[in-house]
Amino acid sequence: MAKRIMVQGTGSGVGKSVIVAALCRILTQEGYKAAPFKSQNMSLNSYATADGLEMGRAQAFQAFAARKEPTVEMNPILLKPTSDTGAQVIVRGKPIGNMTAREYHDYKPRALNLIEDCFDKLDRENDVVVIEGAGSPAEVNLRENDIVNMSIAKLLNAPVVLVGDIDMGGVFAWVVGTLELLDEEERELVKAILINKFRGDIDILKPGLEFLEKRVNKPVIGVIPYFQDIRIQEEDSVSLAVAKGKKTVTSEEKAITIEVVQLPHIANFTDFDALEAEDDVLLRYVGGGEELSEPDVIIIPGSKNTIGDLSYLENSGYASEIVEKARGGKCVVFGICGGYQMLCSSITDPEGVESKLEATEGLGLLPATTEFESHARKMTNQVRAMADLPFYTGEIAGYEIHMGRTYFSDGEIKNAFRIFERSGEKVIDDGGGGGAVYGNVIGTYIHGIFDNDAFRRAFLDHVRARKGLPLLRADETKSEDKNKTGIDWDAEYNKLADVVRSNVDMDKLYDIIFFSSSERYG
């Protein structure tokens, strides 16, 4: 049976996912077979596994940190919010329907057997399982039907490290208050405190740490510095909003400006990490009434509520701006997944999968129509496709996570990406399955498309050519010390592991993992 360690937090966004990824990489570097586990995740950033199932992207990121192929056992339940009070519920990689908050609250007790079955598999196959909680364990109104925080720690007899974010302010009160709201058994499971995102002089912080240790009678095993030089894939748009608010980069030295419309239900914004890493690109998210500038590229990203977010574009004025800029030839408009669907002339939803509206007009930039179908026909696949674009013809890889099919209605529209393999099986594409190009408007269902180095560079050179700028081929953007045509994720995991290892008392952490973990649970 595997040892286990659980990372819980004083709240959302304190860095639990990142710490779990770091521990997965550290343990792997030390020769242990490690795996991440999060019983329930709420996020619109998801990932399609090799066997065509859907899971939280954060757990996929953590699995890669452990040098493992992601599997749905690492994230048995994924909630994808469709509104403020409802979500699509995905169980062991497959959607079982939409539920209101009340409906899901009543459903949760039935999920414990499933969660335990998934953990059992990881338990048998690994030396250590690194478990992640969600939000805060001190939400007293959620304690009765908790299936992700202290109930899981107790079920698995997992020692807990409690993470607090000092950058938000009030971390001492946050830690003390969290522990005060736990019952005695739960407090006993918390073995240590970890302070995250510290800026400043550690000597000035030490009196506060000494006070905290005496107050809660638990050791502070580390203080992780605030870092901006390590790339991580964020779990949800809360972190995106924070990063957007802090961004101060100007476009003076950037050749290409890309603006991503920050939809209310934006999904899989990690699609744009590789673009943001390019030296000649300024990528910014625009939303909340902020005006579009005069970008070279406008991207409409994925969405978990395509019709609702399309309404947002219309009501906010972004729709008319995007259409005007596209039809005026001022920029390239690129839609991914839900964004691709919004570019169509119309969207129909006869079964009420997303909306009570049976039909609604799209932006009309692609002569095509999208029809939503039942949850049972959701497409979740890793794919390979051939691109057929004026600026690039070649193979690409990515993944699709979508409901609905898109059908062309004009002979002038062309299939831009012909999918020839889904989840390892050869297929014949269904016309609009891969994507479309119509003048300066491009759409695709393929997430991760910009992670393909050759395609990404060809697309950016296409934009440069439109501006009369010299092209930068992929081999011209490489140097001995940095591959500028892509993100070396393995190196980023190692950097993350180095930072955590050098700022945590690893001897104490190993004691917690190997001497506090029970050999058996349940």
Q: 396 forms bridges with which residues in the sheet? A: 385
Indicate which residues carry an active-site annotation. Answer: 337, 447
pLDDT of residue 475: 54
How far is it, in rounded angstroms, from Cα 298 to Cα 262? Answer: 11
Which parts of the chain have pLDDT scores under 70?
234-253, 355, 374-376, 429-432, 474-486, 517-522
For the chain, give the longest Cα–Cα distance: 74
- Per residue, what are the HEC states of 204-249? HHHHHHHHHHHHHCCCEEEEEECCCCCCCCCCCHHHHHHHHHHCCC
pLDDT of residue 480: 39
Question: Residue 19 in contact with residue 7, Cβ under 8 Å?
Answer: yes
Q: 99 forms bridges with which residues in the sheet? A: 87
Closest CA to 328 of 295, 353, 299: 295
Q: Which amino acid is at 133?
A: G
The DSSP secondary-structure symbol of 449 reads G
Supply 188's token pair. 């006993």
Residue indicated by tokens 């909630």? 79
Closest CA to 215 of 165, 173, 247: 173
Q: 79 forms bridges with which residues in the sheet? A: 42, 89
Helix runs in 393-505, H state only: 453-466, 489-502
pLDDT of residue 353: 74
Helix runs in 422-488, H state only: 453-466
Pairs from 94-98 (Cβ < 8 Å, separation ≥ 24): 94/53, 94/54, 94/378, 95/54, 95/375, 95/378, 96/375, 97/375, 98/375
Question: What pLDDT, in 10s, does the model give residues 242-269?
Answer: 444 444 445 556 899 999 999 999 999 9
Q: Which domains does the chain have, with CATH numbers?
A: 3-231+489-516 (3.40.50.300), 237-477 (3.40.50.880)
Supply 40's token pair. 């329930």
List the beta strands (DSSP E) in 304-409: 332-336, 344-348, 359-361, 366-371, 379-389, 392-402, 405-408
Question: Residue 495 in contact with residue 230, Cβ under 8 Å?
Answer: yes
pLDDT of residue 160: 98
Question: What pLDDT, in 10s, does the model give residues 296-309?
Answer: 999 999 998 899 99
Supply 146's token pair. 């908790």
